[in-house]
Structure 1
Amino acid sequence: MAEGAATSTATTLPVRDIPGDYGIPFASAIRDRLDFYYFQGQDKYFQTRVDKYHSTVVRLNVPPGPFMATDPRVIAVLDANSFPILFDVSKVEKKDVFTGTYMPSTSLTGGYRVCSYLDPSEPNHAKVKQLLFNILASRKDAVIPAFRANFTALFETMESQVTAAGKSDFNKLNDNTSFDFLGEAYFGVRPSSTALGSTGPTKSTKWLFLQLCPLMTLGLPKILEELLLHTFPLPPLIAKCDYKALYKYFSSAAGNALDNAEKLGLKRDEACHNLLFATVFNSYGGMKVLLPGILGWLAKADKSLHVRLAKEIRSTVLAEGGKVTLNAVEKMDLTRSVVYEALRMDPPVKYQYGKAKQDLVIESHDAAFKVKKGEMLFGYQPFATRDPKVFDDADRFIGDRFLGDEGKKLIKYVVWSNGPESESPTVSNKQCPGKDFVVLVGRLLVVEFFLRYDTFTADVGTVLLGSQVTVTSLTKVAASSSDI
């Protein structure tokens, strides 16, 4: 955690009142929502307020506001020094704040508040998180073979599409592939080989959309989006049949894990709903954003980075006897740095929330601010991970940023997982239980890609909550070097 991130009373910095205001109830929240989504966009929305008040800790309204959320008022922490207060569960409560100031209906999760919405003080939090740790530990040897098998098929399809049509939609291929990979990696059963068939990604996306649409824009007329997405929740009934089919897959495929859940003191159906959520919302939803994000940044990077990655990856795998092993991947420092940099530039989850459990003093780089018990704290992660007081050339993707002694010191400021990358998840904190799994999967994408290709080009745009990557050319590795 950043030094001086939060203390209960003492501080050596000047104490300021938190600037900003919430405006007129209801009306100002709607006006701010329109600024956030349409007239300014999220980055400008926060930056204009930082500039106006000369402070990276400000009071403001966050979407979705009326009528979706009863109270849009937050204290925003918008720098790397103040942001870590959101990880300190001794000082902030994380109950029902996973998606922010609104909470999707529990009808979407079998009537249960799943682990992401539980505060660590609640008994089932530790049980569910331990269950997830147990699954990850028991399946660790399956991850690399499952990834290689599934993504080899993806790359073969991508190549054929580029050859035939001059382009390939990586996001679409990734959606289908990632869903099968996760089922195979976690439970040993590819969803596409069950009654779900090829429908799993579509059913999952519909279910995800119902929970995340208050944070999205689709490019529809503003009045239509405001009414359909941002004002009232869409009825869970829309995804009832889809969710039922997903649940059926998990109740069958995750049988061993559910047996373990009962030994931990969890009800079997509650555990199944939690596994569904962790796999589909947390893991699959994350991979839908993370993997196109990594490939998108690589597409925009100088081709010299491609050369360096290919050299590192191929020489390391060759030294391991031509096998992609965990030991080999751990030795690829540039590959790891590239993934950290992608997570820094575009963290899969951009918003963090926590409610003050007590009166607090939080610190930015140059001032301290008093927060009262019960006030909602909000962090916009890209402002923390692109903090120019921490990162040189903070808005530029630099693939080797985290190499060397100085680079390693910056790793603690990569906080995509609801905690510093330099720390580990436990049953008593809210850091993502799959933190290391996610970073490994990101590295495996880079490894597999540059074992096959010397370089590539792609058109990179935006789609919903992430990057849209359309691959337009692939330069395959020479035949003499492609036997790994």
Structure 2
Amino acid sequence: MPAIVNQLKSMEIPGEYGNWITAIQDRIQFYKGNDAFFQTKKDQHNSTVYRSNMPPGPFMAKDPKCIVLLDAKSFPILFDVSRVEKKDVFTGTYMPSTSLTGGYRMLSYLDPSEEKHTQVKTLLFRLLASRKHHVIPEFRKAYNTLFENMELEIAKDGKSDFNAGNDQQGFEFACTSFFGVSPSSTDLGTSGPDKAAFWLVFHLHPLVSIGLPTFLEELFLHTFPLPPIFAKPSYNSLYSYFSSGATHALDVAESLGLSREEACHNLLFATVFNTYGGIKILFPGIMKCLAEADKSLHSRLASEIRREVKLEGGKVTMAAIEKMELTKSVVYEALRIDPPVKFQYGKAKVDMTIDSHDARYDVKKGEMLFGYQPFATKDERVFENADKFVGDRFVGEEGKKLLKYVVWSNGPETEDTTVANKQCAGKNFVVLVGRLLVVEFFLKYDTFTGETASTIAGLTVNVTSVTKATS
């Protein structure tokens, strides 16, 4: 008998865009809560693929109309650069002024078809390769300082603000590991994290709520871009550090055909926006997952980590980390359940069809596609107990098969980042530093307790107690 092939039914993409008033209404609902916004429309249309306006919309975006993708089957179309263009869609339906980045379009906004994309991404690959031996020692130095301060704060106040320490040490680590020059030892001092955060606001304010009354946020944050000139002093201070501290990388950039100025702006963006910005989000996320997990997971992690480090003569090495299967799984699971970059965009290069689990949809050339990653990576058709943090989810052969659905890096975890795709240049670096956080923590402590809260500023974590390592 011939094999039976399950054919997906072709359907019209549900949903309508309406007019500019509808777009503003969608925007207001979006800022009240992302998950609720997408779930409501998913339920309304009984579909994980539908049409919707996406912020910021009128009058900041040229066109807020998007096709929304919410499941693990349709989402990967956003990685296929043969069918989807990634030019100027990093922040979605609008693009921040290049005045915020020295007048240059940064790597994140370049399509792989552009020559500059190859040049800049190659620069980042070479930077990461040349500094790989500095990552572990610089991380240990920075985060041992964080943990020492954390213990003092717990003893004094009964709790320690992990986010505050992470902001300071994360910035110090990222810059020093990449360039060998501690920002705190330069004119930048300890002001780097504050200057970076202020500059980031000018990029992202159309996509966030800070808790003001709706009419004030609509007027001052979501309708018109904030004047870049106000961010210039902070940016100039950051640029001064990179122009003097990244001289070797800038020499490499010239050999690749990039000007030192354009390369310096890209190095700043990659370090501050991508790397440091990712650490600000990812590390509290990992700590939250661990704080809420069963304490038996802490015990298993401590045992695994200490065993492998002991076998390496008491040293934290790449060889030891690669053997820590549970530690790796915990980081992958944190990246799955709360990916640092939640939104992905791409514009259809050609007429195409997109499949969800349940239907097939026609998409026209030029239409904007939008994927909300937290729904795609918590797809119940793929993951059992999808909304629950399961620390050992990716342990063993069956667990490894699920890694292709971990797509935080703008591509599957099972694939490599190259100059030909838009997968994060620092994909392996991010996973490594996530593991290093877990390793360093459980080398020092057997277990801990913490309080977590979702605020307007994002996830906050307070460590309320730690039990020092007994073995």
Q: TM-score, normalised by structure 2?
A: 0.98
Q: Structure 1, residues 130-160: CA drift from partner, whole Å, max 9, x if none?
A: 0000000000000000000010000000000
**Paired residue for 2:355, among 348, 363, 370?**
363
Give, in angstroms, the shift of residue 464 of structure 1: 4.3
- Name which of 243, 252, 255 aligns with 1:260: 252
What is aligned with 1:280? 272
Tell me how far 1:183 sits from its aligned partner: 1.0
CA distance in structure 2 between the aligned counterparts of 1:154 and 1:136, rounded to whole angstroms: 24
1:13 maps onto 2:5 in alignment: no
Q: CA deviation at 1:299?
A: 0.4
CA distance in 1, matches of 2:264, 2:7: 49
What is the CA RMSD across the aligned residues, in angstroms? 0.9
Query: Partners in 1 of 2:40 and 2:146 — Cα distance?
Result: 42
Match of residue 62 from structure 1:
54
Aligned 1:217-228 pairs, distance under 5 A:
217-228=209-220
**Structure 1 position 12, deviation (Å):** 3.6
1:33 maps to: 27
Alignment equivalent of 1:46, drawn from 38, 48, 54? 38
Cα distance in 1 between the residues matched to 2:428 and 2:382? 24
Give the CA deviation at 1:466. 3.7
State how far apart, in whole Å, the 2-side matches of 1:301 and 1:466 are.
20
Contact 2:254 2:260 in 1 (8 A): yes
Give 1:70 deviation, angstroms.
2.0
Pairing 1:96–2:88 present? yes
The residue aligned with 2:3 is none
Partner of 1:175: 167
How far apart, in 1, do the equivalents of 2:457 and 2:397 lie? 33
Instruction: Give the drift of 1:211.
Output: 0.5
What is the aligned partner in structure 2 of residue 4 from structure 1?
none
**Aligned residue among 329, 337, 340 for 2:321:** 329
Rounded to whole Å, the distance in 2 between the matches of 1:458 and 1:65 is 38
C-alpha deviation, 1:238, in angstroms: 1.2
Q: Which of the numbers 121, 125, 131 marks the counterpart of 2:117?
A: 125
- Give the distance between the partners of 1:55 and 1:221, measured in 2 at CA: 32
Match of 2:183? 191
CA distances 1:176-217 after superposition (whole Å, capped 9, x unpaired): 001000111101111111110011111000001110111111
Rounded Cα–Cα distance in structure 2 between residues aligned with 1:327 and 1:465: 37
Tell me which amino acid in the other structure corresponds to 2:157: A
Matches within 5 A, 1:198-347: 198-347=190-339
Letter in 2 for 1:32: D
Q: 1:230-282: CA deviations, max 9, x gaps?
A: 11111111110110111111011100000000000001100000000000000
2:13 equivalent to 1:22: no
> 1:51, CA displacement in angstroms?
1.4
State the partner residue of 2:378.
Answer: 386
Indicate yes or no: 2:65 matched with 1:73. yes
- Structure 2 CA distance, aligned partners of 1:104 and 1:389? 36
The residue number in structure 2 matching 1:107 is: 99
Name the SS for the 2:275 alignment partner: helix
CA–CA separation in structure 2 for the residues paired with 1:177 and 1:68: 35
Report if the CA contact (8 A) 1:316-1:331 is conserved.
Answer: yes
Separation (CA, whole Å) in 2 of partners of 1:321 and 1:16:
61
The 8 Å contact of residues 462 and 468 in structure 1, kept in 2 or not, is answered as yes
Show structure 1 runs of 4+ deviating over 2 A.
Answer: 463-466
DSSP-derived class of the 2:191 partner: helix
Post-superposition Cα deviations, 1:343-373, rounded to whole Å, max 9, x if no partner, equal 0010000000000000010100121100000
One-letter amino acid matched to 1:28: T
Deviations 1:301-336 (A, max 9, x none): 111111110011011111111100010001000000
- Aligned match of 1:377: 369
Matched-pair contact (CA < 8 Å) for 2:210–2:457: no
User: TM-score scaled to structure 1, two decimals?
Assistant: 0.95
SS at match of 2:221: helix
**What do the CA deviations read for 1:5-48 (whole angstroms, capped 9, x no partner)?**
xxxxxx9421111011112x11001111111112xx21111111
Aligned length: 466
Q: 1:142: which partner in 2?
A: 134
Taking the aligned partners of 2:304 and 2:369, their CA distance within structure 1 comes to: 42
Q: Is residue 289–residue 465 contact of structure 1 (8 Å, CA) maintained in 2?
A: no
| In 2, Cα distance between equivalents of 1:70 and 1:131 | 32
Structure 2 counterpart of 1:400: 392
Q: Cα distance, 1:462 vs. partner?
A: 1.6
Amino acid at match of 1:291: F
1:62-121 deviations in Å (ceiling 9; x for gaps) = 111111212111000110000000000000000000000010000000000011000011
Partner-residue secondary structure (3-state), 2:413: coil
- State the shift of 1:473 in Å: 0.8
8 Å CA contact 1:60–1:75 kept in 2: the answer is: yes
- Hey, what's the Cα distance between the residues in 2 that align with 1:34 and 1:156? 43
> Which amino acid letter does the alignment assign opposite residue 74 of structure 1?
C
Q: Percent identity?
A: 66
Q: Secondary structure at the match of 1:341?
A: helix
Q: How does 1:157-168 map to 2 (within 5 A)?
A: 157-168=149-160
Give the Cα–Cα distance (whole angstroms) in 2 for the partners of residues 99 and 191 of structure 1: 28
CA distance in 1, matches of 2:180, 2:210: 35
Give SS of 1:471's match. strand
**Corresponding residue SS for 2:43:** helix
String of CA shifts for 1:437-465, please: whole Å, max 9, x gaps: 00000000000000011111111012446
- Answer whether contact 2:211 2:456 (CA < 8 A) is retained: no
